[in-house]
Amino acid sequence: MGETFARSETRPDSPHVTVGSSTTSVVEFGPRLTFCSAFSSNAVSICQQCGIQVVERFEKSLRYGIVSAGPLSKEGTNAFNAAMHDRMTEMIYPEPITSFDAGVTPSPVTTVPIMEEGRAALERINEEKGLGFDDWDLTYYTELFKTKLGRNPTDVECFDMGQSNSEHSRHWFFGGKMIIDGEEKSDTLFRMVKDTLKKSNDNSVIAFHDNSSAIKGYSNVPYMKSSDPSTSSPMVISPLTLHPILTAETHNFPCGVAPFPGAETGTGGRLRDVMATGRGANSVAGVSSYCVGNLNIPGYEQPWEDKSFVYPDNLASPLEIEVEASNGASDYGNKYGEPVVNGFTRSFGMRLPNGERFEWVKPIMFSAGIGSMDGRHTVKGNPEKGMLVVKIGGPAYRIGVGGGAASSRVQDSKNAALDFDAVQRGDAEMENRMNRLMRACIEMGDKNPIISVHDQGAGGNGNVLKEIVEPAGAEYDIRKVYVGDKTMSVMEIFGAEYQENNALLIKPEDEGLFKTLADRENCPFRILGAVTGENGGKGKQHCYRHFTSYLIRYLRPYIYVPMLRLNVRNTIILTH
């Protein structure tokens, strides 16, 4: 609301109140003033549906009373605070807040002085932002800007390259040449996997080119759907050709750093992969699995567990991962509405006879799911000039910043803060809304307004907004992105991997229908721009899927890399 109301009478005037021989310390935690929480968005939505339009934000905080023999030490206070709140999305309120105004302004776009300082300038931002550039990358990009482009890059460009050039986004290890003992292998790892497709007897409908895979299903499957998804209408049985879908991914790094939210977003990201298959698909059920090191369960010692093993202090313990990651995956699925029907878990760690330690120190969080797809929606449409580029789902937050590059870095205590920033936070209720909107579009059948859809993953808008318009190109206004934290910089808006988002292409004539469906399902959407159709040629707008088509390591010396530029109107233009 215009003002913030707090029941301050429940809190003592002083944070430390002595009663007899004991001291009661009162600590209050709540959402960051710049972070509009999922609870708030749901509460405000309810108020608006009830006709109460004056409520703009609605938050809750928690107060804890700590009774101790004396005032807590600094170390004790810090330990309690760290255990009781999520520092990414919450903060300590030293006193009851009276306003949500944090007094923070967005950081401006800055330039990296490569022209003046050379490689040292790129090394500095690589260290500060955790871009994951290796020695080859630093040399290559320094030469690119200093010699070929003759200009300084912006911090947005560098951040975007760090995410797009990461192992997470383009899998150069699996797609690059393999030279073992001096001998170059004829096949890449990806090629070895893809060769199995040749033996599928044409049973695969989608393989290796979309968000999920699909095999041939059955015709005339009785499917219950709304007779008119745009309004209240009877349910009818419609015979459809339905193809089964299977998708899988791992969220190893996020679950190692923050098990509960890491597993949440592992489930959420995989669900978005399912719904973004073809021109839209439905999720059915999920699988969650975990591989961790020695559990060291108190009171349940196992003979192979070596008590001398040291675990990184920037990663959660195997036992914590096993418990919290499982809780996170189930929590998200329950709130979204997808059951977990299968899975497995493994824990192992051993000192081999040669002295080598063999263990899952960095965990594996495997998330898989099955779904179904209307046979009419198997193939994504091509981007054409004038098509609208739409983002659906929740607002942008300063979460999941640098997730692509973080997965390519070696995790250690030196970059623990960057690793923690890179882990997303999930909002399953928002993803449920987005899924209902996707389902409504799908159930329009031949009138499905979705031409193409991609889910937002590593690299955030910097990835999905290029992917959705490949190879036609588009122009976007970055300030049209729906933000939940108005202090975010352009770099953060463009590169943060905030959750519960898909990018769509729709025709201009379908804008009214799409708005009707989105309003009915109470799913936020924003039209960010339109396809320009100016593909190919130097100086033309151009983009590529995940940057994979031109950033393969052994091709990089022979190509001219498309870069991202921001003009004075904060419009994103992808130029060759």
pLDDT at 319: 94
Q: Say if residue 465 is in the same domain as residue 569.
A: yes
pLDDT at 219: 93
* Residue ranges of the chain with per-residue pLDDT less than 70: 1-22, 88, 165-172, 400-425, 535-576
Q: Say if residue 469 is in the same domain as residue 518.
A: yes
Classify residue 97: in a domain, yes or no: no
pLDDT at 425: 62
Q: Say if residue 369 is in the same domain as residue 386.
A: no
Residue among 459, 472, 324 nearest 389 (CA):
472
Classify residue 343: in a domain, yes or no: yes
Give the pLDDT confidence of 239-288 residue by residue, as tens digits.
Answer: 999 999 999 888 887 788 888 888 887 888 899 999 999 999 999 999 99
- What is the DSSP pairing of strand 282-292 with strand 340-347? parallel
Q: Say if residue 541 is in the same domain as residue 479.
A: yes
Q: Say if residue 500 is in the same domain as residue 424.
A: yes
Classify residue 98: in a domain, yes or no: no
Q: How many domains does the chain have?
A: 3
Given a contact cutoff of 8 angstroms between Cβ atoms, the answer to whether 63 and 11 are in contact is: yes
pLDDT at 470: 87
With tokens 């991997």, the residue in question is: 497
Q: Say if residue 445 is in the same domain as residue 519.
A: yes
Classify residue 358: in a domain, yes or no: yes
Contacts of 179 (CB under 8 A, 6+ apart): 185
What is the domain-level CATH number for residue 347? Answer: 3.30.1330.10
Domain boundary among 328, 354, 379: 379
What is the domain-level CATH number for residue 166? Answer: 3.90.650.10
Q: Say if residue 176 is in the same domain as residue 312.
A: no
Q: Say if residue 36 is in the same domain as residue 157.
A: no
Classify residue 100: in a domain, yes or no: no
Q: Say if residue 179 is in the same domain as residue 41.
A: no
Domain boundary among 324, 347, 379: 379
Full domain range(s) for residue 519: 105-202+381-576
Burial 527-542 (b: 16+ CB within 10 A, else e): bbbbbbbbbeeeeebb
31 upstream amide cis, omega within 30 of 0? no
Given a contact cutoff of 8 angstroms between Cβ atoms, the answer to whether 341 and 286 are in contact is: yes
Q: What global pTM score does this model have?
A: 0.76
pLDDT at 401: 67
Domain boundary among 337, 352, 379: 379
